[in-house]
Amino acid sequence: MTFLDMLRGAEQRNGSLLCVGLDPDPARFPAALRGDASRIHDFCAAIVDATADLAIAFKPQIAYFAAHRAEDQLERLIAHIRRAAPHVPVILDAKRGDIGSTAEQYAIEAFERYGADAVTLSPFMGFDSVEPYLRREGKGAFLLCRTSNPGGDDLQNQSLASVDGQPRLYEHIAQLAQGPWNRNGQLGLVVGATYPSELERVRALAPTLPLLIPGVGAQGGDAVATVRAAWRGDATHTTGPVVVSSSRAILYASSGDDFAAAARQEALRTRDVLHAARAA
């Protein structure tokens, strides 16, 4: 199955647009695990087990593992996801962006070492920095487009000189991803939930691409406004998949021994809010 097949299958099977972000910070673990970086896998695996039937995707953020020399735990975690939720795709949040020969090595890391189904990338260095990932048949790549952080304005919201007017940089990226760069139908875009009007603009420019939307939950993005801006279609089908990511609000819903149960309740609540917004 391709990444898009898995994504649509998980959406239908789990009735979900919710991507569970896995950003493990040992300093925020429940008391029995707190501060112990050797338990990153155990913490994340418990979250996966608690939310496997609620997620459209899991999104481990590689920096939270690498900072603690826990890359081996990330490998084990993705293998665990394969066993516990084989129908749910894994998006490796790495935001890689480098020249072609180096990009090929990063593609090996993402797809062969870790076994991810998709990866997040920076498009700043152009198509030749993206193309090596697209050689991997059936794999997905999400390009940073309009990110949820305030500093995104520094570059992404700048106007470009053009015969067609003055598009913003993020609009240009969306057009490239929907058009000439998307040679094998493998591309998607990362667009923050904190900018719903610009999210709506990206959807208009890229009507069929999957959108990975962080910023719901701890970052303050409105879940209902997010879905309304990104969803196109009827209450059950959309022309472009919508993948709304929440990390800290789910991971740290409780600091007690009930952390996994609390994570499930928060994931269930968020999934249901997102589901209801499709028909709003």
Q: Where are the domains of the chain?
A: 3-277
Q: List residues with catalytic annotation.
A: 95
What is the rounded CA–CA span in Å between residue 274 and residue 244? 8
What is the rounded CA–CA span in Å between residue 130 and residue 32? 42
Residue-by-residue DSSP string for 125-193: T-GGGTHHHHTSTT-EEEEEEE-SSGGGGGTTT-B--BTTB--BHHHHHHHHHHTTT-TTS-EEEEE-T
Lay out the sheet containing 187-191: strands in order across: 57-60, 18-22, 242-246, 211-213, 187-191, 140-146, 118-121, 91-96
What is the rounded CA–CA span in Å between residue 41 and residue 73? 5
Give residue-wise pLDDT tens across range 77-98.
Answer: 999 999 999 999 999 999 999 9
- Indicate whether 8 pLDDT > 60: yes
Structure tokens of 40?
């990153």
pLDDT at 83: 97
pLDDT at 155: 62
Q: What is the mean pLDDT of the chain?
A: 91
CB crowding 111-121: b at 16 or more within 10 Å, else e: beebebbbbbb
State if pTM tops 0.85: yes
Averaged pLDDT for residues 49-53? 98
What is the rounded CA–CA span in Å between residue 219 and residue 204? 24
Percent of the chain predicted with pLDDT > 70: 90
- Indicate whether 191 pLDDT > 70: yes
- Indicate whether 220 pLDDT > 60: no
Topology of the domain covering 3-277: TIM Barrel (3.20.20)
What is the rounded CA–CA span in Å between residue 55 and residue 11? 8
Q: Torsion over CA of 262, 265, 267 and 272, rounded to 10 degrees?
A: -170
